[in-house]
């Protein structure tokens, strides 16, 4: 039984504590912590026997914690992931791995020095049934070589602390990861365009249109909308040489009523990606129980954050920004 410590018991931290306690197998939550101690105590109540620690560092040191989930704010991820690596404990870190490429690189270097995978990054879309179907269709080659990808990432609304950059660093970072995975290709440049602003957006520039170029010559457009009101809507369509393939709309029940047809839509990410979170965390539990990690790597986290940094720069300057990556350590060599 893997004993898991959870750092950060906010929205997704609480969700993960619940699934580790009640949905997944081979694990239990033995400790939690949050800078909001009251919140940590409330969440500990859903995990029988879980201790509440004063700090993330204390939790990592706890002899009854075999592996750690980091679900605190992005700016705190690096310190906890590095503490886990130093303690030899496998760690699942929510996206973004860290807010800057420099911080991500320090994690990559620390893991590469150990010489084996210890970190899994929370890019859960790779475990989503709908995205898996999309990838299978692209890989099967029936639409020919991919030429274009159209993506939309729409949030009904976002919390009050959401600032302009977060449409990129918090939201579009998922697309930066998923298109690399979907196309087996690297992003080489990014440009961000700003249309007329949505009046629901307060001070946040919304929406954005992000244009990505890949090494293989594919062009990708990503719409981010963070105040779209009607629901949480994630879309992707790949245009190939002889056809197109589109992300199925996961779990949308179709209702026929009063002379109309309505397809219900999720209102937030918890709803839309529930299955993906369950599968990604079970995969991590299984790998962590053997002392390692699987799925999205620290390197994937570093690449996604590097693209985010370039996109934020482009949003400010309007320029096309090339993506420059450091050399990939052999630990993350593509097989």
Ligand X SMILES: O[C@H]1[C@H](O)[C@@H](O)[C@H](O)[C@@H](O)[C@H]1O
Ligand Y SMILES: NC(=O)c1ccc[n+]([C@@H]2O[C@H](COP(=O)([O-])OP(=O)(O)OC[C@H]3O[C@@H](n4cnc5c(N)ncnc54)[C@H](O)[C@@H]3O)[C@@H](O)[C@H]2O)c1
| Tokens standing for residue 103 | 């911080």
Q: Does 305 bind ligand X (CB under 6 A)?
A: no
Q: Does 9 bind ligand Y (CB under 6 A)?
A: yes
Handedness of CA 311, 313, 316, 320 (dihedral sign): negative
Please give the size of the binding site for ligand X, defined by CB under 6 A.
5
- Measure the CA angle with vertex 216, ends 234 and 329; round to 5°: 90
Question: In degrees to the nearest 10, what's the CA dihedral of 55, 308, 326, 321?
Answer: -160
Tell which one of 131, 176, 232, 269 touches ligand Y (CB under 6 A).
Answer: 269
Q: Which is nearer to ligand Y, 11 or 148 (CB)?
A: 11
Q: Does 170 bind ligand X (CB under 6 A)?
A: yes
In angstroms, the CA 221 to CA 238 distance is: 11
Q: Which of residues 250-279 bind ligand X (CB under 6 A)?
A: 269
Q: Do the Cβ atoms of 178 and 310 come closer than 8 Å?
A: no
Q: Do the Cβ atoms of 272 and 234 come closer than 8 Å?
A: yes
Overall residue count recorded for the chain in this entry: 335
Output the smallest distance, CB 335 to ligand Y, in A. 25
Output the smallest distance, CB 116 to ligand X, in A. 28
Q: Does 155 bind ligand X (CB under 6 A)?
A: yes
- Name the one range near ligand X by CB under 6 A: 26-34, 106-114, 170-178, 326-334: 170-178
Q: Does 33 bind ligand Y (CB under 6 A)?
A: yes
Judging by DSSP bridges, how do beta strands 187-193 and 219-225 pair with one another? unpaired
Tell which one of 4, 68, 72, 282 touches ligand Y (CB under 6 A).
Answer: 72
Q: Which is nearer to ligand X, 30 or 306 (CB)?
A: 306
Q: Does 176 bind ligand X (CB under 6 A)?
A: no
Q: Does 311 bind ligand Y (CB under 6 A)?
A: no
Q: Does 90 bind ligand Y (CB under 6 A)?
A: no
Q: Does 171 bind ligand X (CB under 6 A)?
A: yes
Pick one of ligand Y, ligand X, none as the site partner of residue 9 (Cβ within 5 to 8 A by kind): ligand Y
Residue ranges in contact with ligand Y by CB under 6 A: 7-13, 33-36, 39, 56, 71-74, 76, 94-95, 122, 124, 170, 269
Query: Which residues of this protein are in contact with ligand X, per CB under 6 A?
Result: 155, 170-171, 174, 269
């Amino acid at each position: 039984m893997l004993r898991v410590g959870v750092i950060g018991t906010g929205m997704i931290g609480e969700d993960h504590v619940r699934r580790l306690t009640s949905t997944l197998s081979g694990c239990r939550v033995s400790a939690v912590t949050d800078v909001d101690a009251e919140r940590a105590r409330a969440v500990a109540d859903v995990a029988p026997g879980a201790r509440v620690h004063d700090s993330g560092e204390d939790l990592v040191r706890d002899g009854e914690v075999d592996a750690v989930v980091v679900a605190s704010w992005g700016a705190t991820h690096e310190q906890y992931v590095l503490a886990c690596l130093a303690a030899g404990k496998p760690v699942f870190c929510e996206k973004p791995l860290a807010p800057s490429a420099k911080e991500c690189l320090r994690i990559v270097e620390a893991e590469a020095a150990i010489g084996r995978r210890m970190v899994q990054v929370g890019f859960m879309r790779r475990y989503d049934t709908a995205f898996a179907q999309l990838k299978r269709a692209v890989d099967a080659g029936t639409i020919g070589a991919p030429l274009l990808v159209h993506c939309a990432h729409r949030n009904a609304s976002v919390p009050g602390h959401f600032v302009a950059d977060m449409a990129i660093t918090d939201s579009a970072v998922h697309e930066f990861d998923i298109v690399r995975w979907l196309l087996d290709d690297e992003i080489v440049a990014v440009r961000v365009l700003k249309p007329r602003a949505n009046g629901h957006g307060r001070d946040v520039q919304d929406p954005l249109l992000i244009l990505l170029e890949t090494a293989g010559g594919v062009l990708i457009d990503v719409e981010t909308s963070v105040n779209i009101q009607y629901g949480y809507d994630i879309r992707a369509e790949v245009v190939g040489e002889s056809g197109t393939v589109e992300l199925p709309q996961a779990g949308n029940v179709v209702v026929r009523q009063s002379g109309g047809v309505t397809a219900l839509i999720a209102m937030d990410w918890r709803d839309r990606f529930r299955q993906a979170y369950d599968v990604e965390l079970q995969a991590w539990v299984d790998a962590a129980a053997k002392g390692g990690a699987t799925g999205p790597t620290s390197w994937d986290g570093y690449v996604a954050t590097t693209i985010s940094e370039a996109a934020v720069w482009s949003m400010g300057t309007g320029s096309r920004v090339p993506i420059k990556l450091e050399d990939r350590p052999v630990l993350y060599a593509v097989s």
